[in-house]
């Protein structure tokens, strides 16, 4: 076994006396990857995490890596990897190969794409857990890398080649997210995503987030997408050429959220008369815009929460969220955020069940301040945080 020691690794004691050895020129070799993490399982307290990385070598090209963890690295040359205080030979090439292997990869053939993330300090909220915006960013990043890794990606933001040729882009119409628990700073998660057709002109995308080590499902999400013309900003039919690109990647009849749990209920519109709280004067910034020249959908969540009472944000976790996107939001727009409670349930709750009853339910609306047209309708469910019960 060979291991990298000069990039901040800590090794188990049984490797402390490991001798220098050369990398084999064919077959497979294992080494320890370079991270440690906090285990949030209460029974195990804190543990150092060491992960084995698998590299395969080409018989015809001694010393050149073909794959790392099943990901092609285009014949990266590794002259020698060993445990010593000296410099690692060809260190930059190994680093590049390792980084490439962590970008994500296909599993289950080319039907499911998986990507691993670590929860960083700037991705957590006041309670030291990942925010809903962080989870949504993970979902979006994995979806985009799924398209780019599929070989059908065009020059657009997640668009296929045929979409790019026709100046078409994806727009999300509805997202539902269910959160079993929020990961903490230092935790590592893996996001799995896949797609399916949604009617004649739409696409469905599902995600599951698991704890990287225990494989526990901690978040489930589903979404529907439509195609828009980038120049006219109007919805478009899906061309047959685009359907042909996408259909080999469709995973039929697999739902991240079971049909009986899917939120299909109409989200009622809030008005000045029935909204309990209204926050006005919300203005998009330049950095809120995405590559499709409109406000990124993740930004809507923060604006939506602007009108939620602070004591709810402090004492409760959002365990379910359904977003219904009504129109685009541009940088010149000024928004109002509106919120009203729709239900309050007091009683025992099974926190391990996706069917548990919420303690609080809210309806939300984001609208343009000038003409009051809807931008986003939403519904959220909340549970009292465990340490507050």
* CA–CA distance, 251 with 287 (Å, rounded to integer): 34
Is 359 considered catalytic here? no
Per annotation, catalytic residue among 296, 329, 359, 364: 329
* CA–CA distance, 191 with 198 (Å, rounded to integer): 22
CA torsion 257→260→266→272, rounded to 10°? Answer: -70
Question: Exposed, middle or buried by CB within 10 Å (0-12, 13-18, 19+), for 39?
Answer: middle
Instruction: Using alpha carbons, select from 307, 340, 301 the residue that is nearest to residue 322.
Output: 301
Per annotation, catalytic residue among 212, 294, 359, 383: 294
Is 292 considered catalytic here? yes
**Contact, 236 vs 229, CB < 8 A?**
yes
Eight-state DSSP code of residue 375: E
Sequential DSSP letters for 37-81: -----TTT-S-----EEEEEE-TTSTTEEEEETTEEEEEEE----
Is 146 considered catalytic here? no
Per annotation, catalytic residue among 69, 292, 296, 297: 292
Eight-state DSSP code of residue 264: -
Give residue 29's region: left, alpha or beta (phi > 0; psi -120 to 50).
beta
Beta strands (DSSP E) in the chain are 27-32, 52-57, 64-68, 71-77, 105-107, 112-118, 168-179, 188-198, 202-211, 217-229, 235-236, 277-282, 316-325, 335-344, 360-368, 374-384
**Which residues participate in catalysis according to the annotation?**
292, 294, 329
């Amino acid at each position: 076994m060979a291991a990298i020691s000069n990039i901040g690794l800590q090794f188990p004691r049984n490797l402390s006396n490991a001798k220098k050895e050369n990398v084999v020129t064919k077959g497979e070799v294992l080494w320890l990857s370079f991270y440690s993490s906090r285990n949030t399982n209460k029974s195990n307290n804190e543990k150092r995490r060491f992960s084995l990385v698998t590299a395969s070598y080409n018989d015809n090209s001694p010393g050149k890596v073909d794959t790392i963890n099943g990901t092609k690295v285009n014949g990266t040359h590794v002259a020698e990897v060993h445990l010593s205080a000296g410099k690692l030979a060809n260190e930059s090439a190994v680093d590049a190969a390792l980084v490439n292997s962590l970008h994500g990869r296909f599993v289950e053939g080319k039907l499911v794409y998986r990507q691993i993330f670590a929860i960083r300090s700037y991705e957590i909220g006041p309670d030291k857990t990942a925010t809903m915006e962080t989870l949504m960013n993970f979902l979006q990043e994995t979806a985009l890398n799924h398209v780019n890794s599929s070989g059908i990606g065009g020059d657009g933001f997640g668009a296929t080649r045929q979409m790019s040729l026709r100046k078409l882009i994806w727009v999300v119409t509805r997202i539902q997210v269910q959160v079993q628990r929020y990961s903490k700073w230092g935790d590592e998660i893996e996001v799995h995503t896949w797609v399916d057709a949604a009617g004649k002109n739409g696409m469905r995308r599902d995600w599951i987030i698991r704890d990287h080590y225990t494989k526990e499902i901690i978040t489930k999400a589903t979404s529907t997408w439509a195609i828009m013309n980038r120049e006219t900003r109007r919805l478009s039919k899906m061309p047959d050429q685009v359907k042909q690109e996408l259909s080999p990647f469709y995973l039929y009849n697999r739902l991240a959220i079971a049909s009986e749990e899917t939120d299909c209920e109409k989200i009622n519109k809030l008005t000045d008369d029935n909204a309990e709280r209204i926050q006005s004067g919300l203005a998009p910034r330049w950095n809120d815009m995405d590559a499709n020249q409109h406000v990124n959908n993740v930004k809507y969540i923060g604006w939506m929460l602007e009108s939620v009472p602070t004591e709810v944000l402090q004492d409760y976790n959002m365990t379910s969220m359904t977003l219904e996107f009504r129109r685009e939001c541009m940088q010149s727009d000024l928004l109002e955020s509106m919120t009203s409670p729709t239900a309050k349930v007091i009683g025992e709750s099974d926190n391990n069940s996706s069917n548990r009853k919420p303690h609080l339910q809210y309806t939300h609306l984001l609208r343009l301040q000038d003409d009051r047209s809807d931008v986003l309708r939403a519904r959220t469910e909340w549970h009292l945080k465990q340490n507050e019960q």
